């Protein structure tokens, strides 16, 4: 099966179970990087969230202050998000196939979602993301911390198979910079999932403001 079909079908099947899980796992980590946006952006700033899931907890929190567009490959997740959050716009789509005008958003987030994109497509995706950001705009994203071209868990969260793909931290930093973004911070964060330590690289980056040069 195509990796993206694995991700879409998997999240369609475990949509509500995944929502419960995200409310108990990596809670402080999510809150920490959501806070970066609240501290950096003005009210009603335009935020694109790639991999919004059911909208709980991140989209709901962001929508309290910002104009949010949430995107997810799972139609079931999008359906749940539309029921739960009235103050955001939602799009059912593969994030690599999205098209937006240049300079459309003040910030773009991707919490635990780009790791589901085949890694050979991640560089091009980051370049598209950079083009969608306005000068001075922020990218807040979690990426892989180790190299793994293809990982499949046959029964993730008691559902269907799930797929992940990522580069290591050093290569991911390079990809962000090669997309034309300036890294503000890049930190590995480790937390327990299913009793095992799992590490992600969290990157906060900014699109250079040409006017300030």
Per-residue pLDDT tens digits for 13-60? 999 999 999 999 999 999 999 999 999 999 999 999 999 999 999 999
Structural domain boundaries, residue 61: 3-212
pLDDT tens-place string over residues 90-138: 999 999 999 999 999 999 999 999 999 999 999 999 999 999 999 999 9
Token reading at 124: 């091009």
Question: What number of other Cβ atoms are within 10 A of residue 32's Cβ?
Answer: 13
User: For position 149, which CATH number holds?
Assistant: 3.40.50.150
CA 141 to chain centre: 6
What is the radius of gyration, based on Cα positions, of the chain?
16
Question: Which pTM was predicted?
Answer: 0.96
Q: Give the count of domains, the chain.
A: 1
DSSP state of 159: S
Q: Residue 60: left if φ>0, alpha if ψ -120 to 50, beta else—which one?
A: alpha
Residue 161 in this model has a pLDDT that exceeds 80:
yes
Q: Report percent pLDDT > 70 for the chain.
A: 99
Return the pLDDT at 213: 44
């Amino acid at each position: 099966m195509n990796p993206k079909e694995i991700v879409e079908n998997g999240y369609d099947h475990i949509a509500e179970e995944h929502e419960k899980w995200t409310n108990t796992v990596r809670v402080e980590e999510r809150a920490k990087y959501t806070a970066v946006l609240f501290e950096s952006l003005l009210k009603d700033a335009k935020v694109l969230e790639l991999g919004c899931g059911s909208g709980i907890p991140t989209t709901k929190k962001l929508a309290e202050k910002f104009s949010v567009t949430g995107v997810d490959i799972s139609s079931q997740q999008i359906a749940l998000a539309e029921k739960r959050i009235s103050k955001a716009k939602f799009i059912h789509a593969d994030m690599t196939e999205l098209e937006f005008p240049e300079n459309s958003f003040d910030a773009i987030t991707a919490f635990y979602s780009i790791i589901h994109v085949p890694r050979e497509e991640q560089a091009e995706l980051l370049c598209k993301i950079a083009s969608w950001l306005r000068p001075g705009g922020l990218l807040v994203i979690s990426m892989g911390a180790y190299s793994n071209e293809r990982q499949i868990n046959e029964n993730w969260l008691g559902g269907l198979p799930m797929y992940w793909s990522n580069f290591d931290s050093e290569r991911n930093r390079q990809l962000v910079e090669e997309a034309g973004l300036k890294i503000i911070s890049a930190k590995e964060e480790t937390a327990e999932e299913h009793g095992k330590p799992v590490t992600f690289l969290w990157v906060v980056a900014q699109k250079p403001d040409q006017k300030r040069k």
